[in-house]
Amino acid sequence: MRRAYFKNNWVAALMVAPQLLIVFTFFYFPTSQALYWAFTLEQPWGGGNTWVGFDNFTAILSDAYYWQSIWVSIVYAAGSTALAVIMALTLAIFADRQLAGYKLYRVGMIWPYAIAAPAVGLAFRFIFTPGAGMMMFVNQVFPDLWNPVDNGTQAMAMVIVAGAWKQVAYNFIFFLAGLQSIPRSLIEAGAMDGARVLRRMRDIQLPLLAPTFFFVLVINITDSFTDSFGIVDTMTAGGPSRATNLMVYKIFNDGFQGLDYSGAAAQSIILMILVIALTFVQFRYIERKVHYT
């Protein structure tokens, strides 16, 4: 393959510099600060800190509630990713089949992604409110069936649905683009060989969609670990009794509200390692099964 490259390295450096500057200022520098704080006890108003080695980490990792928070985050990530991927895929397949009104639908489906997480949380809080929203009707038929205020499992389900709903739009765009890039001739050939819709989907479309699927999976899992606190904050505030206390929400609570910068920094590092590890696992073991065309 022929490669294009700059003959003058200074021009290349100049071109890359703004991007690198942004990455260093807004990613590497803060991360290095967080890393430093994680090993110290930092006074919020400045005025010095003490080096404590791994104390912050041992304190966090020996806390049973922190492990619960990790567990809850994994449940949320798995639940919201699975739901968002399945829903988006279903919707994209329908949009791709060009059923009546699909153009309108294609545009409408993109909107949810533009809504801020706290607004999504508020809307879903109304939907799932046991006493006033839509779930009130369920409670009228089956009294006390739905009560996310007391019931941690239901609260988690509620947060997962809201989180997945927000992610569906994003996934939808990628799935639809993926489906549309599959050559029509393949599908038509399948049809001529007598394969029906579901069969064509299973044997042609889904395998060819694998790269998109993998990309969406990685993005969704990362996103559900790092970008879920807006929904949790408005819907449950981590409750009831820590049932929806996601790792990232705990960081927000301890660091931003509680001014425990060191504890929050250590938690950030742990979260970062977890996300890196998960991404690594996905690339190492799942990507192998993906065939890029």
Interface with other proteins (CB under 8 A): 25-27, 29-31, 33-34, 37, 41-47, 49-50, 52, 59, 65, 125-126, 129-133, 147-152, 155, 226, 235-242, 245, 251-265, 268-269, 271-272
Instruction: List the structure tokens of 222.
Output: 């990362």
Please state the closest distance from residue 105 (CB atom) to other proteins, in A: 32
CB 252 within 8 A of CB 139: no
CB of residue 163 vs other proteins: minimum separation in angstroms? 16
In the complex, what is the shortest distance from the CB of residue 277 to other proteins, in angstroms, rounded to a whole number? 14
Shortest distance, position 56 Cβ to other proteins, whole Å: 9
Supply the minimum distance, in Å, between the C-beta of residue 95 and other proteins: 35
Rank residues 97 and 242 by Cβ distance to other proteins and give the closer one: 242
112, 165 contact by CB (below 8 A) = yes
Query: Rounded distance, CA 212 to CA 224, Å?
Result: 18
Closer residue to other proteins, CB minimum distance, 199 or 242: 242
Tokens of 214: 């993998």
Question: Smallest distance from the beta carbon of 35 to other proteins, in angstroms?
Answer: 10
Bridge partners (DSSP) listed for residue 40? 51
Asked whether 162 and 233 are in contact (CB, 8 A), the reply is no
Question: Which residues, listed in sequence order, are joined to residue 50 by a DSSP beta bridge?
Answer: 41
Helix (H) or strand (E) holding 291: none
Residues 6 or more apart in contact with residue 180 via CB below 8 angstroms: 96
d(CA 202, CA 211): 15
| Spatial CA neighbour of 170 closest among 125, 251, 224, 242 | 224
